[in-house]
């Protein structure tokens, strides 16, 4: 369905306006449209262009959420926390099974490893129990296939396991999933929401939300290049799904409702035998630490740092990259990774929920700031459908129930094979900027060169399909390069000496 002109929305009334077209916002729009509500989905940029595109790309089992930060002997003293962790892990595992069932084309399955060492904080028997409990919480629908192997057996099966250093006492082996293309999950979910009746419009900023009668008036402003304008629409319910920007939405309710946690990932090229295999461990800080397989490469991380800055201004710091490399070398000392091995890196800000000003492990909260004004906090991409259902139920409590929830898989369409098919995609899938096409409609943005080699040819196709001038096409190429360097920087080598 083509992207509607902003003027077409002037004065329109909807049951629900969803602000933010990341994974949670797109899923919420799909959930509500499938339940029979009139929905408008807007975002100041493209589908999935914020935090959803800067995650660790893992459909995680949730095992790490069972790991308390306090000593093991104190677990009986924190029953509420442990119950919360169990519910959190169950939600993660159930969402994992749902995505494996409904979106198999968006996922890839990999063998992961967990190293055991003498003196570990968590003894092997407790880790074994954690894996079994995690599987049980998910109803064994998508097995982790966990087993603990002796070092020699694991090393004979896996070059990655053989490359581990230190005094190993065993190696756990299990199965995990990676998102083959997290941005495309957002796009396809939004397109499915449209199929169910939602109106979606990207590059549409919300500049104000004000009470109007029993509902709300929402002011929308054009943000696409070479376009301008502003209109208002009205609705009964507003759902703020802006992720780490929730507290920055004008008129979207008072905060703080989220606390940002910055995660940095570093892409490197590891030995060829490591291809397709991953690792889960704990860092020297006691935080979960991963080696993620990504096509012919791997990325390592993430860091976990609380930040209060505008997520738009958060950048990868050199010290963070050095920390990730140091932790990787602690696991694989023979690799001796340095900044020279870094292909690129990126960071995202996860919107953890807050309760009375403090961060909480609670996976998702739907916070009401006014009658029918809700914010969805604390979700990650792996919980986006769970978050959407909670948001939809909140809307139903205010508006009443209309239709059963939507069911069924979301397909991942085949990439266009011809220039004509590509031109049709541009119109059908709301492509506004060159980056939208390279990163979120086609998989070229996931290549090691981040789509740079394809950008010029694709800009020519897009210019013809969208009616761009040559000046606009060249400006889009410059903007694409600037944005690529900003979001995926290559770290400079340290000064000699």
Query: What pLDDT was estimated at residue 118?
Result: 87
Report the number of distinct structural domains present in the chain: 1
Query: What pLDDT was estimated at residue 360?
Result: 53
Residue entry with tokens 């090691």: 448
> Could you tell me if residue 379 is inside a domain?
no
> Could you tell me if residue 466 is inside a domain?
yes
Query: What pLDDT was estimated at residue 302?
Result: 94
| pLDDT, tens digit (0-9, with 9 covering 90-100), for 217-244 | 999 999 999 999 999 999 999 999 999 9
| pLDDT, tens digit (0-9, with 9 covering 90-100), for 421-477 | 999 999 999 999 999 999 999 999 999 999 999 999 999 999 999 999 999 999 999
> Could you tell me if residue 475 is inside a domain?
yes
Confidence category of residue 299, pLDDT binned at 50, 70, 90: very high
| pLDDT, tens digit (0-9, with 9 covering 90-100), for 123-168 | 899 899 999 999 998 888 899 999 999 999 999 999 999 999 989 9
- Asked if residue 240 lies in contact with residue 211, where contact means CB atoms within 8 angstroms, the answer is no
Task: Please check the confidence at residue 373 and state whether its pLDDT lies above 90.
Answer: yes
Beta-ladder partners of 355 = 358
Query: What pLDDT was estimated at residue 412?
Result: 83
Query: What pLDDT was estimated at residue 133?
Result: 92
406 or 176: whose pLDDT is higher? Answer: 176
Confidence category of residue 303, pLDDT binned at 50, 70, 90: very high
> Could you tell me if residue 424 is inside a domain?
yes
> Could you tell me if residue 473 is inside a domain?
yes
> Could you tell me if residue 465 is inside a domain?
yes
The three state secondary structure string of the chain is CCCCCHHHHCCCEEEEEEECCCHHHHHHHHHHHHCCCCEEEECCCCCCCCHHHCCCCEECCCHHHHCCCCCHHHHHHCHHHHHHHHHHHHHHHHHHHHHHHHCHHHEEEEEEEEEEECCCCCCHHHHHHHHHHHHHHCCCCCCCCCEEECHHHHHHHCHHHHCCCCCEEEEEEEEEEEECCHHHHHHHHHHHHHHCCCEEECCEEEEEEEEECCEEEEEEEECCCCCCCEEEEEEEEEEECCHHHHHHCCCCCCCCCEEEEEEEEEEECCCHHHCCEEEEEECCCCCEEEEEEECCEEEEECCCEEECCCHHHCCCCHHHHHHHHHHHHHHCHHHCCCHHHEEEEEEEEEEEEEECCEECCCCCEEEEEECCEEEEECCCHHHHHHHHHHHHHHHHHHHCCCCCCCCCCCCCCCCCCCHHHHHHHHHHCCCCCHHHHHHHHCHHHHCCCCCHHHHHHHHHHHHHHHCCCHHHHHHHHHHHHHHHHHHCCCCCCCCCC
Task: Please check the confidence at residue 70 and state whether its pLDDT lies above 80.
Answer: no
State which residues form the domain around 454: 419-487
Helical axes 384-399 vs 23-34, angle rounded to 10° = 50
> Could you tell me if residue 440 is inside a domain?
yes
> Which is it for strands 288-294 and 365-370: parallel, antiparallel or unpaired?
unpaired
Confidence category of residue 62, pLDDT binned at 50, 70, 90: confident
Task: Please check the confidence at residue 361 and state whether its pLDDT lies above 70.
Answer: no
From the list 268, 280, 231, the residue with the least C-alpha distance to 111 is: 280
Task: Please check the confidence at residue 263 and state whether its pLDDT lies above 70.
Answer: yes
Task: Please check the confidence at residue 81 and state whether its pLDDT lies above 80.
Answer: no
Mean pLDDT score of the chain: 92
The Cα–Cα gap between 237 and 221 comes to 19
Query: What pLDDT was estimated at residue 396?
Result: 97
> Could you tell me if residue 467 is inside a domain?
yes
| pLDDT, tens digit (0-9, with 9 covering 90-100), for 457-471 | 999 999 999 999 999
């Amino acid at each position: 369905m083509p992207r509607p002109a902003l003027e077409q929305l002037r004065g329109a009334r909807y049951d629900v306006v969803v602000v933010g077209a990341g994974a949670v916002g797109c899923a919420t729009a799909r959930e509500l449209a499938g339940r029979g509500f009139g929905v408008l989905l807007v975002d100041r940029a493209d589908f999935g262009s914020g935090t959803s595109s800067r995650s660790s790309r893992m459909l995680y089992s949730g095992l790490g959420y069972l790991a308390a930060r306090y000593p093991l002997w104190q677990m009986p003293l924190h029953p509420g926390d442990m119950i919360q962790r169990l519910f959190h892990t169950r939600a993660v595992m159930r969402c994992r099974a749902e995505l494996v069932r409904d979106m198999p084309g968006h996922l890839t399955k990999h063998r992961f490893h967990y190293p055991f060492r003498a003196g570990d904080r968590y003894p092997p028997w407790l880790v074994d129990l954690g894996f079994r409990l995690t599987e049980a919480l998910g109803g064994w629908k998508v097995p982790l296939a966990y087993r603990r192997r002796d070092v020699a057996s694991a090393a004979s099966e896996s070059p990655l396991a053989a490359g581990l250093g230190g005094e190993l006492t065993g190696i756990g082996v299990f199965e995990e999933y990676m998102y083959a293309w997290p941005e495309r999950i957002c796009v396809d979910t939004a397109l499915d929401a449209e199929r169910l009746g939602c109106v979606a419009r990207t590059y549409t900023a919300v500049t104000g939300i004000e009470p109007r009668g029993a509902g709300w008036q929402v002011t929308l402003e054009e943000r696409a290049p070479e376009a301008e304008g502003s209109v208002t629409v009205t609705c009964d319910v507003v759902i703020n799904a802006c992720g780490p920007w929730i507290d920055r939405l004008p008129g979207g309710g008072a905060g703080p409702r989220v606390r940002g946690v910055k995660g940095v990932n570093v892409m490197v090229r590891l030995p060829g035998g490591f291809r397709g295999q991953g690792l889960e461990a704990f860092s020297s800080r006691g935080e979960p630490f991963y080696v993620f397989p990504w096509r012919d490469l791997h990325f390592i991380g993430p860091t976990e740092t609380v930040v209060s800055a505008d997520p738009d201004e958060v950048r990868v710091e050199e010290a963070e990259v050095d920390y990730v490399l140091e932790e990787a070398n602690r696991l694989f000392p023979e690799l001796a990774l340095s900044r020279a091995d870094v292909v690129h890196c990126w960071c995202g800000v996860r919107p953890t929920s807050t309760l009375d000003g403090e961060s909480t492990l609670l996976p998702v909260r739907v916070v009401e700031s006014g009658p029918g004004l809700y914010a969805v906090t604390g979700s990650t991409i792996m919980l986006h459908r769970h978050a959407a259902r909670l948001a939809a139920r909140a809307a139903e409590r205010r508006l009443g129930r209309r239709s059963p929830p939507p069911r069924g898989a979301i397909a991942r369409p085949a990439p266009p094979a011809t220039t004509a098919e590509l031109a049709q995609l541009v119109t059908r899938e709301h492509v506004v900027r060159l980056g939208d096409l390279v990163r979120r409609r086609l998989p070229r943005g996931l290549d090691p060169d981040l789509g740079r080699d394809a950008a010029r040819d694709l800009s020519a196709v897009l210019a013809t399909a969208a009616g761009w001038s040559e000046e606009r096409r060249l400006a889009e190429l410059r903007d694409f390069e600037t944005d690529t360097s900003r979001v995926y920087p290559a770290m400079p080598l340290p000064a000699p000496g």
